[in-house]
């Protein structure tokens, strides 16, 4: 009997067509005969309406006739209504973009098995106005914090040659509701605003526009000097203001629906208004003034920190809170989800609950810079929902999501940004499972209330298989993956103990010597000594807890009431401190790291059982990654426990497995991430 089951499995696997992952979650089979789609009278045939009609003609298999309608009384702000009456499904909106989103929603329902019943009405309006991907792509084709090959933007070919990948990219984004793209790195080069580059940008924008996607650019604040030949970039200088106004006018002639600028200023060596004794308000408002006549926005990043500060986590609040209420209506302050830098687990940034009079937008990192990059499977929807649902206690009670969706003025724009994980690899994201984070980001921008389990189901059914024998086990893998990564990397609020040059592996000892900034070293954050572990942000330490509203500030500042997942973020905790389960901090660290190892091994075992439901190409590619993730979890566990044991002086619990590595060997190991490929995975420790 076992042989018969095995034979059936082999025959089933052999019948699955090999896939390179390029189709993402849009693996619909095209109709032999086009579905019946009617564009109603009075609805203008725009390129966007044409796309909606074409997608439905090609892929709708529901039998019903389809009606597309744009009317003034339709849902606004990209919203739509789906309504089934008899054998007709009507899709209506106040805009052609809304009709396109309705079409993709109907096709998604078809793919995941949600039928539209007679008389049923589905009405949706996106939560955030601007749902935007930030590409950290450079003009030379490299991608900062990119783990899926080179940039998808082929600047050397543009504008003469336009890659078909641009439209495939636009289609994928539109299918999950993403409506904006910043094309280049926040560490922007002045040359990005040259006339030659802007013509290339215009060619990309022409492809994105019919899919409802506005194009944005990151700008270097010193561009008037570097590109315009001025002697200054002082935002209050009249010549500087004129240069920016002229440049913006040039952009809008090429890209009429240009979205605006993303700005990283006076951070990590980037130029900004503080170079001239001016404030963030001066810089942001100057750009806002020149963009406002064209309907453009300024997204001004709050990621700032100085080497002299006693606590890097406090600096964004310290710089921006005094400026609350001084920014123009078309300025949005873009704030990373946590106070430091996209760590595996951070408390939410206190700016979300603090800035009452300035529009604030969350910035998430879709690319897994600190979470195993394109190798580890870590489903980030669970993290993002944890942040969005966190209570800030602003004005008596607002979650992060509610605070960022509240408009500070009638003209304010709400927004959410995600740092892209997309490259030119065939499957877009390097890992087939990493596609889930691109998918989930778009869906959460549209509807922050949708559950992580629902997002996992949708992704798995559309991308791999709708068979519940596949979806059920893999849903649990995705839903547990973030917590598992925290367990084997940095539990209880530990943070930033990565290898300094690539952030892939553990190096709590990292210190290359020389005149390096303390806040670039793991020891700055973990503060391990003979007494204990963790960063003291209580009133006796940096007083970072004071940046949160009460009663949260008091709760976080008391060792007895601080949530244990943030214990070492806010407290320097003795090794022998007894936690709520009756075990010491040291024993809990040991058990939690081992739990993470067990979970990573379990994920690899589950994937091995999925062979009958996935084509061989994607199965093998992902198997290598799950196996590597399990090995990496051991690497993390051994490195951290062996290193911290030097300070605690305490033995591993008797029922914990012995380390598989020696600390000396781990401290000597160097991963050459520049030449790192999937084929190198077995070469890691």
Which residues are known catalytic residues? 268, 341, 369
Ramachandran category for residue 298: left, alpha or beta (phi over 0 → left; psi -120 to 50 → alpha)? beta
Output the six-digit token pair for 516: 């390096």
DSSP state of 640: H
- Give strand pairing partners of 92: 69, 81
Structural tokens at position 544: 């970072």
Instruction: Please state, as a whole number, how many other Cβ atoms lie within 10 Å of the Cβ of residue 296.
Output: 21
Helices (H), 213-370: 223-226, 238-254, 280-291, 315-320, 351-354
Asked if 460 and 479 count as a contact pair (C-beta separation under 8 A), the reply is: no
Q: Report the alpha-carbon distance of residue 569 to residue 495 in Å, rounded.
A: 7
| Among 45, 73, 72, 57, CA closest to 106 | 57
3-state secondary structure of 674: helix
Lay out the sheet containing 65-70: strands in order across.
Answer: 37-39, 65-70, 88-93, 80-85, 121-124
Coil, helix or strand for 74? coil
Distance separating alpha carbons of residues 318 and 322, to the nearest angstrom:
7
Those residues with Cβ within 8 angstroms of residue 343's Cβ, 6 or more apart along the chain or in another chain: 370, 490, 495, 496
Which residues lie closer than 8 Å to 370 by C-beta, 6 or more apart? 341, 342, 343, 344, 498, 503
- Burial class of 518 by CB neighbour count within 10 A (0 to 12, 13 to 18, 19+): middle
Cβ(327)–Cβ(358) under 8 Å? yes
H helix runs in 209-237, sequence order? 223-226
Core vs surface per residue 455-477: b (16+ CB within 10 A) or e: bbbbbbbbbbbeeeebbebbbeb
For residues 336 and 342, the answer to whether their CB atoms sit within 8 Å is yes
- Cα–Cα distance for residue pair 541/537, rounded to 1 Å: 5
Query: Within 292-329, where are the H helices?
Result: 315-320
Q: What tokens does 144 get?
A: 């900062």
Helix, strand, coil percentages, rounded to 5, for the chain: 45, 10, 45
CB atoms under 10 Å from CB of 272, counted, come to 24
Sign of CA dihedral 439, 441, 442, 447: positive
DSSP state of 321: G
Interatomic CA distance for residues 178 and 170, integer angstroms:
9
């Amino acid at each position: 009997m076992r042989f018969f089951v095995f034979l059936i499995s082999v025959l089933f696997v052999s019948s699955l067509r090999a896939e390179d992952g390029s189709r993402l979650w849009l693996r619909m089979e095209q109709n032999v005969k086009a579905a019946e789609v009617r564009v109603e009278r009075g609805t203008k045939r725009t390129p966007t309406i044409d796309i909606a009609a074409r997608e439905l003609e090609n892929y709708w298999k529901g039998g019903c006739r389809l009606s597309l309608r744009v009317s003034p009384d339709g849902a606004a702000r990209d919203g739509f209504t789906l309504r089934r009456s008899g054998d007709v499904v009507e899709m209506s909106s106040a805009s052609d973009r809304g009709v396109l989103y309705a079409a993709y929603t109907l096709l998604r329902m078809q793919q995941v098995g949600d039928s539209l019943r007679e008389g049923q009405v589905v009405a949706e309006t996106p939560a955030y106005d601007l749902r935007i991907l930030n590409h950290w792509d450079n003009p030379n084709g490299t991608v900062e914090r990119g783990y899926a090959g080179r940039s998808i933007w082929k600047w050397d070919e543009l504008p003469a040659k336009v890659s078909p990948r641009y439209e495939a990219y636009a289609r994928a984004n539109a299918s999950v509701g993403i409506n904006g793209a910043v094309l280049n790195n926040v560490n922007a080069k002045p040359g990005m605003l040259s006339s030659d580059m802007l013509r290339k940008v215009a060619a990309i924008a022409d492809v994105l526009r019919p899919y409802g996607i506005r194009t944005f650019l990151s700008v270097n604040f010193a561009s008037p000097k570097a590109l315009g030949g001025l002697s200054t970039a002082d935002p209050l200088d009249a010549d500087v203001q004129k240069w920016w106004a002229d440049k913006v006018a040039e952009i809008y002639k090429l890209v009429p629906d240009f979205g605006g600028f993303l700005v990283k200023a006076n951070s990590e060596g980037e130029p900004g208004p503080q170079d001239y004794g001016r404030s963030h308000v001066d810089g942001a408002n100057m750009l806002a003034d020149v963009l406002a006549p064209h309907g453009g926005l300024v997204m001004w990043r709050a990621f700032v920190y100085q080497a002299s500060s006693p606590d890097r986590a406090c600096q964004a609040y310290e710089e921006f809170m005094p400026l609350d209420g001084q920014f123009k209506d078309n300025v949005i302050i873009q704030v990373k989800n946590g106070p430091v830098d996209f760590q595996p687990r951070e408390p939410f940034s206190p700016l979300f609950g603090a800035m009452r009079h300035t529009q604030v937008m969350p910035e998430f990192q879709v690319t897994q810079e600190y979470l195993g990059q394109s190798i580890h499977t870590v489903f980030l929807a669970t993290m993002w929902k944890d942040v969005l649902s966190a209570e800030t206690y602003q004005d008596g009670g607002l979650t992060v999501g509610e605070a960022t969706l509240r408009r500070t003025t009638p003209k304010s724009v709400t927004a959410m940004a995600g740092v892209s994980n997309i490259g030119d690899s065939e499957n877009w994201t390097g890992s087939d499972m990493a596609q889930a984070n691109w998918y989930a980001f778009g869906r959460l921008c549209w509807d922050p209330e949708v559950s992580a389990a629902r997002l996992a189901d949708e992704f798995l059914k559309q991308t791999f298989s709708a068979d519940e024998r596949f979806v059920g086990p893999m849903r649990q893998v995705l839903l547990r993956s973030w917590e598992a990564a925290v367990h084997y990397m940095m539990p209880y609020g530990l943070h930033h103990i990565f290898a300094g040059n690539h952030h892939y592996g553990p190096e709590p000892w990292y210190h290359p010597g020389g005149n390096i900034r303390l806040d670039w070293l793991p020891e700055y954050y973990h503060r391990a000594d003979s007494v204990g572990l963790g960063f003291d942000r209580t009133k006796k330490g940096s007083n970072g807890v004071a940046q949160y509203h009460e009663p949260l500030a008091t709760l976080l500042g008391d060792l007895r009431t601080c949530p244990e997942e943030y214990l070492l973020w806010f407290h320097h905790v003795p090794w022998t401190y007894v936690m709520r389960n009756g075990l010491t901090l040291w024993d809990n660290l040991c058990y939690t790291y081992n739990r993470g190892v067990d979970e990573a091994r379990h994920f690899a075992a589950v994937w091995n059982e999925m062979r009958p439901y996935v084509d061989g190409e994607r199965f093998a590619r992902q198997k290598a990654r799950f196996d590597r993730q399990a090995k990496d979890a051991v690497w993390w566990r051994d490195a951290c426990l062996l290193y911290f044991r030097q300070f605690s002086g305490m033995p591993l619990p008797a029922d914990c497995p012995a380390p598989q590595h020696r600390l000396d060997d781990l401290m000597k190991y160097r991963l050459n991430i520049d030449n790192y490929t999937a084929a190198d995975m077995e070469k890691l420790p």
